[in-house]
Amino acid sequence: MRQKILIARAVFPEVIARLAQHFDVTSNQDDVLWTPSQLIEQLQGMQGVFTTGSERIDAALLAACPMLKICANMAVGYNNFDLDAMTAAGVLGTNAPDVLTETTADFGFALLMATARRVAESEHFLRAGLWTRWRYDMFTGSDIHGATLGILGMGRIGQGIARRGALGFGMKVIYHNRSRLDAATEAQCQATYVSKQDLLKTADHLVLVLPYSASSHHAIGAAELAQMKPTATLVNIARGGIVDDAALAVALRNKAIAAAGLDVFEGEPKVHPDLLTVPNVVLTPHIASATVPTRLAMANLAADNLIGYLLKGKPLTALNAAAPR
Ligand code: 8YV
């Protein structure tokens, strides 16, 4: 008998077709946002689920879905998974690393440049019909080339941003990470390891690329923002919750830092109302990995994990070693 899987959100039809060659597939092409109890209801009798970062997999869901064997996330981040609960329940978790590294690093740089050079703010000004003359100080921002680029979280995406900064823009790159990179990788990225405090104090532009967990919650709050240069730019392409958004809105309004670029938010898709009213912030709706080839590669990797594990016992990018249920 064919195994059953649920695709919890809308996804590329060709990926659904691939999965349908192997499984009985239920998909959510209407992209209904299910409540946790609706998700549990949908998962009854299913062996696998294709998730995005939006579906929470926790102990309550696992207990209510005894047939479930694998949750395959179409995302590199997996803070929507309670991995300990999954391991305890014998459920495998997989993510989608590598395929989005360069695309996401590109976007980190796009947001950094838009923020430091005030692209969004000046475009709004022009569209509002306010551009009547040239002025020497109109929308003056800060330079990217030759500046000090700070990176908090130096995994694959952080390294991609470091390479872009050092090799493309002649930036001095400093980073802080839970563990220091080996010398060869540091040399390849032309990046120097510093303490978090030195990173905050020295960076002209600080990009956040660390995973979200209890220990990174509000890694950038009022105290950290106060240590940054008043001319500094902050970019968050990691996860909402790493930055204290309320504290950031205050810092932006008071010009404690010059500007911020945010692709992720605490409680997204809601955005802190104060961030919507400060001019010196560029806001994008969690699109750092959003190119067609990359999103397709992410979806195909999640599909490959479902096929690999449920049919051959061999997932490609496992997050835990779950003794099968
Ligand atoms: C996804 C992301 O678009 O991969 C991640 O961790 O944040 C994004 O690339 C998002 O999580 C949807 O699954």
Could you report the per-residue pLDDT of 183-229, keeping only the tens digit for each?
Answer: 999 999 999 999 999 999 999 999 999 999 999 999 999 999 999 99
264 & 156 share domain: yes
**Any domain includes 322:** no
- State residue 285's pLDDT score: 98
Query: How much is the pTM?
Result: 0.97
Whether the CB of 52 sits within 6 Å of ligand 1 = yes
Residues 151 and 215 in one domain: yes
Q: 118 and 226 share a domain?
A: yes
Can you state the angle between helices 101-116 and 156-163, rounded to 10 degrees? 50
**Do residues 86 and 213 both lie within one domain?**
no
Residue 298 sits in a domain whose CATH number is 3.40.50.720
In a domain, 323, yes or no: no
Task: Determine if ligand 1 sits within 6 Å of the CB of residue 74.
Answer: yes
Task: Answer yes or no: is pLDDT of 322 > 90.
Answer: no
Mean pLDDT (the chain, rounded): 97
d(CA 134, CA 268) in angstroms, rounded, equals 38
**pLDDT score, position 308:** 98
How does pLDDT run across 14-71, given as a tens digit for each residue? 999 999 999 999 999 999 999 999 999 999 999 999 999 999 999 999 999 999 999 9
Q: Is residue 54 part of a domain?
A: yes
Domain span including residue 24:
4-99+292-312
**203 touches ligand 1 (CB under 6 Å):** no
Exposed/middle/buried for residue 38 (C-beta within 10 Å: 0-12, 13-18, 19+): exposed
On whether both 180 and 163 belong to a single domain, the answer is: yes
% of the chain residues with pLDDT over 70: 100
Q: For residue 154, tell me if it sits in a domain.
A: yes
Please report whether residue 218 resides in a domain: yes
Predicted pLDDT at 232: 98
Any domain includes 320 = no
pLDDT level of residue 325 (50, 70, 90 thresholds): confident
Q: Are 41 and 156 in a shared domain?
A: no
Look at residue 319 and tell me if it is in a domain: no
Looking at the fold, whether 124 and 223 belong to one and the same domain comes out as yes
pLDDT value, residue 1:
87
The pLDDT assigned to 301 comes to 99
For residue 1, report the distance from its CA to the centre of ligand 1, in Å. Answer: 33
Query: For the chain, how many structural domains are there in total?
Result: 2
- Decide if pLDDT at 276 tops 90: yes
Same structural domain, 278 and 303: no
Same domain, 90 and 136: no
